[in-house]
Amino acid sequence: MFTKIKNLDTAFRHVRAFTIIVVLCSAASSVYIAYKSFTTVARLQEKVYILANGKAIEAFASDRKENIPVEAKDHVGMFHHFFFTLDPDDKVIKENITKALYLADGTARNTYNDLRENGYFSGIISGNISQEIAIDSIRIDVSNYPYGFWCYARQKIIRPTSIAWRTLVTQGELRNVSRSENNPHGFLIERWRTIGNEDISTEQRK
């Protein structure tokens, strides 16, 4: 009888030891899995996938300060593209100007209103004129905030009988604002003005 009790006690100790080992292994496994999951999620959050032309392109997240020059240049370029790309179609003009005005403050709207009151846009429509812009360079000063910028470009004005080229130099400042669908870079152009706009050449169309 004592032998049976001893055997039961030994078996109980073995089962208890085995149970403790299983619990410790499970706890260790849970901690390891949680750690790996956390590190994996953190690593995945550093990756951004951009859908371009139906293809997913991997990009990497980084500090906004590192991207300021690149994003600021693209913001300025987008604004000038929309503001100065015009065709003899009232709907196209309104769509492009609307997109541009989301990227700038009242100084851009004042310029638009002045051009409209002076008949600039109606002249484009009645004269069947198209206008394009070719940006040569954009300079951003990130040493001071708001960030100053200078845009150097050329305007191509296509008339039924001729093509004219003009220089275009503008200046302004960039202020940080919230990103949105209409303003993906999160900048707002302020104190925008044209400081140079001169004829370069004119050629007759064949």
Name the residue ranges covered by the structural domains of the chain.
2-48, 64-204
Average pLDDT over residues 175-187: 92
Average pLDDT over residues 130-143: 94
Average pLDDT, the chain: 85
pLDDT digits (tens, 9 = 90+) for 50-77: 655 555 555 555 555 667 889 999 999 9
The fold adopted by the segment(s) 64-204 is Nuclear Transport Factor 2; Chain: A, (3.10.450)
**In the structure encoding, which two tokens stand for residue 69, read together?**
């020059």
Cβ within 8 Å of residue 158, ≥6 positions away: 129, 130, 131, 132
Average pLDDT over residues 13-32: 75
Q: At 153, is the pLDDT very low, low, confident or very high (cuts 50, 70, 90)?
A: very high
SS3 content of the chain, % helix, strand, coil (to 5): 45, 35, 20
Q: Which percentage of the chain shows pLDDT scores above 90?
A: 65
What pLDDT is recorded for position 17?
73
**In the structure encoding, which two tokens stand for residue 159, read together?**
């008339």
What pLDDT is recorded for position 137?
95
What pLDDT is recorded for position 2?
46
Bridge partners of 59? 48
pLDDT digits (tens, 9 = 90+) for 95-134: 999 999 999 999 999 999 999 999 999 999 999 999 999 9
**In the structure encoding, which two tokens stand for residue 85, read together?**
């790309």
Top-confidence residue, 27 or 68: 68
Average pLDDT over residues 142-163: 94
Top-confidence residue, 201 or 12: 201
